[in-house]
Chains A and B, each alone.
Chain A
Amino acid sequence: MLANDVKDAPYINLDDPAFSIRSQVVRDARANSFYARTPYGLAILRYNEVGELLRHPLLRQGSYKWPAHNRAAGLFAEWWVRMLLSRIGEDHARLRRLANPAFSPKLIATLQPQFVAIANELIDAFGKKGRCEFMSEFSEPYATRVICALLNLPHERWRELATLAADMGLALGVTYKADEPVVNKATQSMFEFSRALIEERKRNTGGDFISLLVQANSTDKDALSDQEMDDMVVLAVFGGIDTTRNQIGLAMGQFIDHPDQWTLLSENPDLARGAVEEVMRTRPTTTWVTREALEDFTYNGLEIKKGTTIHLFAESAGTDPAVFKPGFDISEPRKQHFGFGGGTHHCLGHFIARGDMTEALKLLARRVRNPRYDGDPVWLPDSGNTGPVKMNIAFDPEV
């Protein structure tokens, strides 16, 4: 498509609460053009273009504009523009270098036995009943207790943390304005929690992520200021819980829709790692990530003006028929998906997310046989950050 044709490009109304990232409108747009117009800038729809633009040097991470776009005010909005995802350049690199060792694959591998223990304990509670509300009885406690394991927190506090994370997460939903007081109250409680935790780790320093931050901060405040330390702890707790909770729920939904794949996984637990990738390719919780143009430039004939917001559609790229054979198949080798974003801001926690979801799926497939919906699940809007709100399932009871 030529540069002067932008106004003729397909239009996608992301603002419509009924909009679905998987709708025919998006599929048709993708067949016709690599980009579409939206109420806020452009959407990129195809695999190769999303991959290139994720790491394009003339684009910056766009989420920092979220408070401005939503006329948001208060503690959450203030934290949002200060935290790692909104930082750029050397400032971002300094914080990322500091955080990286706590999320390395070697360190995450040592947590694997804890993932197994948490998953088994949760399944023990409902396995013989043959039914459960999957989100509150598995997905949410599992995702939160994994964070407890990572940060060396007492597991009894999981519910308190899960509630705070969920309330903060309302910030990213369509009803944000009505929820703003709840969001800001939860953010305040999360900061109080984080500061108390930091004080505790100053007295009992260990090898966990919080201790690593405390050590860096006490050695050199230019390397990590007090504010940056608080912000990072809040990010570690908030960022890890809601995303993983939703992604595991989406995984269960995919397998309920593809029972032959669940059987295949239960018979071949080594496919669990590939299963995580296949779920994230076809049903990512983060359906798009945003970028913003730092200057005017032309990309593949498309003129992009400085300041333009660009939505990179991870789901649409992951199911691009020009690149992927159709279908959901955990045994099929696939190209890398964009469910963890990409480039400088590639998800920091992806090794832990991959590790904990692999163990969860392995054990669920072995112990939760023949799962099906027990009533209609309740879903978040199928756009932005998505996932199940409630998912009652029935399955063959364990004997």
Chain B
Amino acid sequence: MKLCVDLEKCKLHGQCIIAAPKLFGFRADGSLWWVETIDATQQKEADEAADVCPEQAIWIED
């Protein structure tokens, strides 16, 4: 599965990093990195990040 972030919508609140610290993080320059390809074992965490995003900028594609 593909984990996607709309960087136009993303306001870098970092809620995804709190919800799913293994899948999202900030780089030293403050920009967002994330794991783009995930497997079924990571889906629950990815779902939680997508749910919690205040801007609803995260989604999962099959």
Q: Do A and B come together as binding partners?
A: yes
Interface residues of A (CB under 8 A from B): 51, 55, 57, 92-93, 96-97, 100-101, 104-106, 336, 340, 342-344, 346-347, 350
Known: A104-B51, A105-B51, A350-B54. A96 touches B13 (CB 8 A): no
* B11–A336 CB distance below 8 A: yes
* A106: chain B residues within 8 A (beta carbon): 51
- Tell me the B1-59 residues at the A interface (CB within 8 Å): 11-15, 18-19, 21, 26, 30, 48, 51-52, 54-56
User: From A107, which residue of chain B is reached at the shortest CB distance?
Assistant: B51
* B54–A55 CB distance below 8 A: no
Bound CA–CA A24/B5 (angstroms): 40
Q: Tell me, rounded to whole Å, the shortest Cβ–Cβ distance linking A338 to chain B.
A: 9
Bound CA–CA A51/B12 (angstroms): 10
Kindly list 19 other residue pairs between chains A and B, CB separation below 8 angstroms, not including A55-B14, A104-B51, A344-B13.
A55-B13, A93-B18, A96-B18, A97-B18, A97-B19, A97-B48, A100-B51, A101-B48, A105-B51, A105-B56, A336-B55, A342-B13, A343-B12, A343-B13, A344-B14, A344-B15, A346-B15, A347-B54, A350-B54
* Contact for B54 among A51, A57, A97, A340, CB less than 8 A: A340
* B48–A346 CB distance below 8 A: no
* Contact for B18 among A101, A105, A344, CB less than 8 A: A344
* A346–B54 CB distance below 8 A: yes
Known: A57-B30, A104-B52. A51 touches B11 (CB 8 A): yes
Q: Tell me, rounded to whole Å, the shortest Cβ–Cβ distance linking B45 to chain A.
A: 10
User: From B18, which residue of chain A is reached at the shortest CB distance?
Assistant: A93
Q: Could you pull out 27 A-B pairs where Cβ atoms are within 8 angstroms? A: A51-B11, A55-B13, A55-B14, A57-B26, A57-B30, A93-B18, A96-B15, A96-B18, A97-B18, A97-B19, A97-B48, A100-B18, A100-B48, A100-B52, A101-B48, A101-B51, A104-B51, A104-B52, A342-B11, A342-B13, A342-B54, A344-B15, A344-B18, A346-B15, A346-B54, A347-B54, A350-B54
User: From B14, which residue of chain A is reached at the shortest CB distance?
Assistant: A344
How many chain B residues have a CB neighbour from A under 8 Å?
16
User: From B54, which residue of chain A is reached at the shortest CB distance?
Assistant: A346
* A100–B56 CB distance below 8 A: no
Bound CA–CA A380/B48 (angstroms): 38
Bound CA–CA A158/B34 (angstroms): 43
* A100: chain B residues within 8 A (beta carbon): 18-19, 48, 51-52
Q: Tell me, rounded to whole Å, the shortest Cβ–Cβ distance linking A89 to chain B.
A: 11
Bound CA–CA A106/B51 (angstroms): 8
* B54: chain A residues within 8 A (beta carbon): 340, 342, 346-347, 350
Q: Tell me, rounded to whole Å, the shortest Cβ–Cβ distance linking A201 to chain B.
A: 23
* B18: chain A residues within 8 A (beta carbon): 92-93, 96-97, 100, 344
Bound CA–CA A55/B12 (angstroms): 7
* B21: chain A residues within 8 A (beta carbon): 93
* B55: chain A residues within 8 A (beta carbon): 336
* B13: chain A residues within 8 A (beta carbon): 55, 342-344, 346
Q: Tell me, rounded to whole Å, the shortest Cβ–Cβ distance linking B19 to chain A.
A: 6
